[in-house]
Amino acid sequence: MTGHPNFKVDIYQNEYLPEGAREVNAIVTVTSDAASPTAAAAVPTGTAAAEVIIVDCSGSMDYPRGKMIAARQATAAAIDALREGVAFAVIAGTDQARLVYPQQPGLVPADARTRAAAKASVNNLRAGGGTAIGRWLSLANTLFSGYGGNAIKHAILLTDGRNEHERPEDLARTLQACEGRFVCDCRGVGTDWEVEELRRVSTALLGTVDIVADPSGLTADFTAMMNSAMSKAVADVVLRLWTPQGADIKFVKQVAPEMADLTARRMPVGAQVGDYPTGSWGTESRDYHVCVEVKPAGIGDVMLAGRASLVLKGTEDEVLGQGLVKATWTDDMVLSTRINPEVAHYTGQAELADVIQEGLEAHRTGDLDTATAKLGRAVALATETGNTDTAALLAKVVDIDDPVTGTVRLKAKVADVDAMTLDTRSTKTSRVRKS
C-alpha cells in the first residue's frame, strides 16, 4: 500500500537491570504523520471508508423532549461531516434495530443527494420502544460486511439508557462477533445509562466512550467524532511484538491518549510473535506500555528483550515502523535503580484510573471509608502526574484539603453527572514529556 502516513516508533526505557532481575518495562511511542506529502493524498477520497451512525430511539429519548430533537440535529451534522464518497448508513435503535437510511439494506456513497435524503429520513425519527444495543451493533456489522481489505470502518453509537432488552451474554456474543470488524465510538447522553456497559462496547471495538451530560452538546460532539473518523488514513494496523525464546509478555497496554488493556487481544502469528490490534490511524501519537519477563543473564550481558513493530495487515503485511526493547544486567546500582520517567508516569496513570473506578464503586455501595481512601489516592496521583483535567473532575466529587498527600473529604452530595463524568473519563491520561 502507498500513500499512507509515515510512522515512527520510539522506545523509552531504563534497559539496565540488577543481577537476577527478570522484568523489562518499556514505553513504545508510535507517531503517524499524515501531513507528509505521500499521506496527504490518501486521507480525502483515496481511502476506502464506511460509516454507520446508530441513534437510540427508545422511549426514554423523549424525556426530556429536547433529547430526541438534539439527537436528530447531531446526526444531521454528522452526515454533513462525511467525506465525499464515504459509504454510510443510519440505524434507529430500540429493542430492535431498524435501517433508517438507505431504504434498502446496504451502504450508499455520501454526496449532496444522499446526504439530503438521509437527513430527511433522520428528521422523521421518533422515540418509542426498548434498548438492545447488541442488535444495533449486529446490524451495523452486517452493513459493514461488504467492506473488507483496508477499508476504514467506523460507527457512532448514541444511547441514553441501560441495555435492558437483551441478556448480557447476548451482548457479549455480539461484541465477540464484531471485534476487529469495525471501530465504534460510544456516547451516553444524560445520566440514566451505565458507564461500564458502554465502556465494554468501546473497549471491545477499539473506540472511545464519553458522556454528553446536556443534549445541547450532542451536535458538537458528533461533529468532532465524525471529523476524527474522516481524518483516518489507514486501517487494520497492529502492534507486533517479538520476544526471545524463554521470554513471556506480562502485559501490553495502550496508556495514551487513554488506557486500554490489549493483553488478552493477542493473536499469535509465529514463534514468539504476537499481534495486538490498534485500529485506524490518522495524524496522531499513542503510547503503549510493554512489560516482558525474560530469563536473567549474567552481569554485563546484553539481551534484545523484544522487538516492537507497527504492521499494516494485508495480503502481504507491511512494516510501518520498528523499535527495540533491550536488557543489560549490571552491578552498578546507580544505573539499575534509575527510574525511567515515561514508565513511572504511565504506571501512575494506570493506578489513577483503577483507584478512581474503585473509589466510585465503593461510594455507590456505601463503603465511605474505602471511597475516601481511594479517591484521596487518586487526587495525589493526579497531582503528581500533572493530570489537571482529572484533578478538576475529582474536585467535584471530593473536598480537597491537601492535593499532594491526597487528604480529602467526600462531598455530602455528589451529583450523578459529576460521578459519571469522572468515571467515564478516568481512563483518559495526560501525556508525559519524552526524555
Specify whether 59 is located in the same domain as 171.
yes
- Determine, yes or no, domain membership for 413: yes
- The residue out of 179, 199, 230 marking a domain boundary is 230
Domain count, the chain: 3
In angstroms, the CA 207 to CA 205 distance is 6
- Asked whether residue 72 is assigned to any structural domain, the reply reads yes
CATH of the domain at 262: 2.60.40.3670
> Is 386 found in the same domain as 239?
no
Whether residues 331 and 258 fall in one domain: yes
- What single DSSP character describes residue 65? T
Question: Do 374 and 362 share a structural domain?
Answer: yes
Query: Maximum Cα–Cα distance for the chain, whole Å?
Result: 72
* CA-closest candidate to residue 52, choices 150, 160, 172, 184: 184
In terms of domains, do 57 and 169 share one?
yes
- Residues 183, 188, 191: CA angle, nearest 5 degrees: 160
Residue 120 burial (10 A CB sphere; 0-12, 13-18, 19+) = exposed
Q: Is residue 20 part of a domain?
A: yes
Q: Give the SS3 label for residue 47.
A: coil
pLDDT number for residue 4: 76
Task: Look up the domain containing 385 and give its range.
Answer: 342-427
76 and 137 part of one domain: yes
Same domain for 322 and 193: no
* Neighbouring residues of 37: CB distance < 8 A, sequence distance ≥ 6: none
One digit per residue, the tens of pLDDT, for the chain of length 435 reads 456 789 999 999 999 999 999 999 999 999 998 544 343 334 444 579 999 999 999 999 999 989 999 999 999 999 999 999 999 999 999 999 999 999 999 999 999 999 999 999 999 999 999 999 999 999 999 999 988 667 999 999 999 999 999 999 999 999 999 999 999 999 999 999 999 999 999 999 999 999 999 999 999 999 999 999 999 999 989 999 999 999 999 999 999 999 999 999 999 999 899 999 999 999 999 999 999 999 999 999 999 999 999 999 988 999 999 999 999 999 999 999 999 999 999 999 999 999 999 999 999 999 999 999 999 999 999 999 999 999 999 999 999 999 999 999 999 999 999 999 999 999 999 988 765
Kindly state whether residues 185 and 70 are assigned to the same domain. yes
Q: Is residue 215 a part of any domain in this protein?
A: yes
Q: Are residues 350 and 332 in the same domain?
A: no
Q: How far is CA 32 from CA 193, 283, 332, in A?
A: 35, 5, 37
Q: Per the domain annotation, does 128 fall within a domain?
A: yes
Using alpha carbons, select from 316, 313, 390, 319 the residue that is nearest to residue 359: 390
Asked if 165 and 246 sit in the same domain, the reply is no
- Final residue in a domain of this structure, among 230, 260, 291: 230
Residue 78 lies in a domain: yes
CATH number of the domain residue 163 falls in: 3.40.50.410
Based on the domain organization, do 224 and 367 belong to the same domain?
Answer: no
Q: Which three cell numbers stand for residue 388?
A: 489537571
Domain boundary among 184, 207, 230: 230
Integer Cα distance of 378 and 372 in angstroms: 10
pLDDT at 434: 63
Instruction: Specify whether 224 is located in the same domain as 147.
Output: yes
In a domain, 434, yes or no: no
Structural domain contains residue 433: no
**Angstrom distances, CA of residue 129 to CA of 132, 145, 195:** 10, 27, 21
